[in-house]
Amino acid sequence: MIGNLYNIASNAIGGAIGKEVIFYKKFLGNISNDVGILIPSYEDPIQINGSFQVVSSSLYAQRGLDTNKHYRILYTNTEITEIDNNTSSDRILYGDDTYQVLDKEDWYRYNGWSGVLCVRL
């Protein structure tokens, strides 16, 4: 095992990772509202360290992403849950926008980071 590459990289570039103001809302589960419709429930937002990157146009084409939507990739040392069948995913708050986590490159258990693809809601 190499160690926590996220922390090593952050320290190597002078702690620049984590200077952005990014909030994370953990998905708790679905709850039934007053008319019986299931709606997602989340923990209160907490600030996390990370780098929120613009998605390149080549990745839009490569992944078949909708060009009418706004995507970003978050690199973080926080363990995040992506969308799955019959469940929602965690949410990311960045600036005035809310993003839903769609997919992730999960290196968290191996070396302490994840790269998650997010779409603006």
Is-contact 72 118, C-beta < 8 A? yes
d(CA 118, CA 110): 22
pLDDT band at residue 5 using 50, 70 and 90 as cut-offs = low
Give tens-digit pLDDT for 55-92.
988 888 888 999 999 999 998 888 888 888 777 899 99
Predicted local confidence at residue 88, as pLDDT: 84
Question: Which token pair is 84?
Answer: 């799955």
Q: Is the pLDDT of residue 118 over 90?
A: yes
Q: What's the half-sphere exposure (Cβ side, CA atoms, 13 Å) at 33?
A: 6
Q: Looking at the predicted structure, is the pLDDT value of residue 10 above 70?
A: no
Answering whether pTM is above 0.85, one says no
Nearest in space to 116 (alpha carbons), one of 84, 85, 70, 72: 72
Helix, strand, or coil (residue 70): coil
- Better pLDDT: 11 or 88: 88
Query: Is 38 within 8 Å of 29 (Cβ atoms)?
Result: no
Which pLDDT score, from 0 to 100, does residue 120 have? 97
Q: Which of the two residues, 89 and 13, has the higher pLDDT score?
A: 89
Q: What is the pLDDT of residue 98?
A: 97
Which has more confidence, 39 or 104?
A: 39
Residue 25, pLDDT above cutoff 80:
yes
